[in-house]
Chain A
Amino acid sequence: MTAFVVVSVIKVFVVFGAVLGTVLFTIWLERKIVARMQSRYGPNRWGPFGLFTSLADGVKLFFKEQVSPRGIDKAAYVAAPVLALIPAFLAFAVIPFGEHVTLFGQTVTLEVTDLNVGLLWVIAMGSLAVYGVVLAGWASGSKYPLLGGIRSSAQMISYEIALSLSLVPVVVWAGTLSLREIVEAQIGTFGTIGWLPGPVQWIGHLIPKWYVVFQLPAFLLFMAAGVAETNRAPFDLPEAETELVAGYHTEYSGIKFAMFFLAEYVHIITISAVAVIMFLGGWDGPHLPFLPWMWPLMNFMGKTFTLVFLFIWLRATLPRIRYDKLMVLGWKGLIPMALGWLVVSATILTVKDAYFG
Chain B
Amino acid sequence: MAEEERRPNRLSEEAWYPRSKTPLRRTRALTEKKIFAPMKPAIDVMLEIGEGVIASMKGLSLTLRHVFRRPVTIQYPEQRRDPFPRFKGRHVLDRHPDGLEKCIGCELCAGACPADAILVIGAENTPEERYAPGERYAKVYEINYLRCIFCGLCVEACPTEALVMSNAYDFSADSRDKFIFTKEELLVDAPLQIRDSKVVLRAGEEVGEYRVLKEGLARARRQEERRKEHEHTETED
Contacts and interface: CB of A to CB of B under 8 A. Distances in A.
A39 B59 contact: no
Contacts of B63: 37, 313, 316-317
B: interface residue count bin: 10 to 19
B56 A40 contact: no
B38 interface: no
Nearest to B62: A317
Contacts of A313: 60, 63-64
A36 B71 contact: yes
Q: Which of B60, B69, B75 has the most CB of A within 10 A?
A: B60
B2 interface: no
A115 B73 CA distance: 50
Contacts of A33: 67
A49 B180 CA distance: 39
B53 to A, nearest CB: 10
A201 B215 CA distance: 77
A38 interface: yes
Interface in A101-117: none
Contact of B66 (A37, A314, A318): A37
A39 B59 CA distance: 15
Contact of B56 (A38, A316, A317): A317
A39 B69 contact: yes
B39 interface: no
A267 B192 CA distance: 63
Contacts of B67: 33, 36-37
B72 interface: yes
B59 A318 contact: yes
A39 B72 CA distance: 6
A40 B60 contact: no
A326 to B, nearest CB: 14
A: interface residue count bin: 10 to 19
Nearest to B67: A36
Interface string B55-88: 0100110111011011111010000000000000
B66 A36 contact: yes
Contacts of A39: 66, 69-73
B17 to A, nearest CB: 16
Interface string A291-321: 0000000000000000000000110111000
Contact of B71 (A40, A317, A318): A40
A35 interface: yes
A13 interface: no
Contacts of A318: 56, 59
A40 B64 contact: no
A43 to B, nearest CB: 12
Contact of A317 (B59, B69, B73, B75): B59
A31 to B, nearest CB: 13
Contacts of A35: 71
A41 B78 CA distance: 14
Nearest to A38: B66
A318 B52 CA distance: 11
Contacts of A36: 66-67, 71
A84 B170 CA distance: 44
A39 B15 CA distance: 13
Interface string A14-42: 00000000000000000001011111110
A208 B56 CA distance: 28
Contacts of A37: 63-64, 66-67
Nearest to B61: A317
Contacts of A40: 71-73
Nearest to B72: A39
B141 to A, nearest CB: 39
Nearest to B68: A36
Interface string A28-71: 00000101111111000000000000000000000000000000
Nearest to B58: A317
A130 B69 CA distance: 39
A106 to B, nearest CB: 44
A151 to B, nearest CB: 23
Nearest to B45: A333
A353 B69 CA distance: 51
A38 B64 CA distance: 10
Q: Which of B60, B63, B69, B70 has the most CB of A within 10 A?
A: B63
A41 B64 contact: no
A314 B64 CA distance: 10
Nearest to A34: B63
Nearest to A234: B56
Q: Which of B62, B66, B67, B75 has the most CB of A within 10 A?
A: B67
Given A39-B70, A40-B73, A317-B62, 14 more contacts: A35-B71, A36-B67, A36-B71, A37-B64, A37-B66, A38-B66, A39-B69, A39-B72, A39-B73, A40-B72, A41-B71, A41-B75, A313-B63, A317-B63
24 contacts: A33-B67, A35-B71, A36-B66, A36-B71, A37-B67, A38-B66, A39-B66, A39-B69, A39-B71, A39-B72, A39-B73, A40-B72, A40-B73, A41-B71, A41-B75, A313-B60, A313-B63, A313-B64, A316-B63, A317-B56, A317-B59, A317-B62, A317-B63, A318-B56
Interface of A: 33, 35-41, 313-314, 316-318
Interface of B: 56, 59-60, 62-64, 66-67, 69-73, 75
